Structure 1
Amino acid sequence: MTLHDVIKRYLLSEETFIEINEGEISANEFLTYDEIKIGLRVIIIGKNGRKRLVDLGLLQIIAKCGDLEFVKDYLNMSKSLRDIYNKYKVYTELEYVAVKEECQKGLDEDILNVLSRLKFYILHREKSIQK
C-alpha cells in the first residue's frame, strides 16, 4: 500500500480516521505527494501492538520543510512517544510544527494562532521539567 492508497481509503471511508499497519507508508512519499490537508488522520498499528494517531497533513508539512528524519522516527512504531520526546523535545507532530517556525510558512492565520499558543505551552513545559 502507498500513501496515495491510504489517502484514497480514508476519503472513501467517510470516517474520522482509519487504521493502517506500520510500514504501509514511508516518509519519502510525503515529499512527492500533492498537498495533504491537515486533519487527515490515521491510526498506525505497529508490529509490536503500539498504536499512534497521526495527522498525515502535518507530517507532510514537516517533511517538506526539511525534517524527514522526524517523519521517519514518528512513523517508526518501535519508537515510543517518550523516545520521540527525548530526541526532539516534542511528543507529537503538531507540537513539532508549533516549535519549528520554518514549518509554518504559508499556513492559515487561525492555525498559526493555535500553534503560537501551543508553542508557549511547550516552552513552559520544558522550563518546568528543567527545574
Structure 2
Amino acid sequence: MTRTGGCLCGQVRYEIDHELGPVTACHCTQCRKQTGHYAAATPAPWDSIALRGEVTWYRSSPMARRGFCGTCGSYLFWEEGDGLAYVMAGSLDLPTGLRMDAHIFYADRGDYYRAGDGLPCFAAGRSGAEVPA
C-alpha cells in the first residue's frame, strides 16, 4: 500500500511504498521542544520513500537528526542512521488506518497532561520500565 504525506505548505511531499507499523508517541525532551507537545511517528525504510522537494535537516544529537520543511517548518522525519525514517504521523495524508501502540520517554512528558488511552507508558525507551499513565 502506498501512503502519501507532506508539509503544511506543500513544498515537501513524499510517497511511502512500504507497509507502515504502529505509531509510537515519544515524550522525550527533544521531541517535546521540537513539536511543542510530543511526537508521534511510524518507521519506514528510507529506500521505500520517494521525496519531492527539499528537506532541511537539524542535527539534534550526535546520533540523530530531524527533517523538516525549510519553508513552513513542518516536522516530517526523525532518523538515527539505521536505514529507517521515523515519519511524523501527523504529516501523513488521511486516512492513515494506523493506530498508536505505546508512549516512550513518558518520564519526560510535560507536566500539564497524562496519557489516558490505556496504552503502555515506558519511562524511557521500550526496553525500560513501564510507568503509570
TM-score (norm 1): 0.28
Structure showing greater relative contact order (alpha-carbon pairs closer than 8 Å, 6 or more residues apart): 2
Pick the structure with more helix per residue. Answer: 1
Pick the structure with more strand per residue. Answer: 2
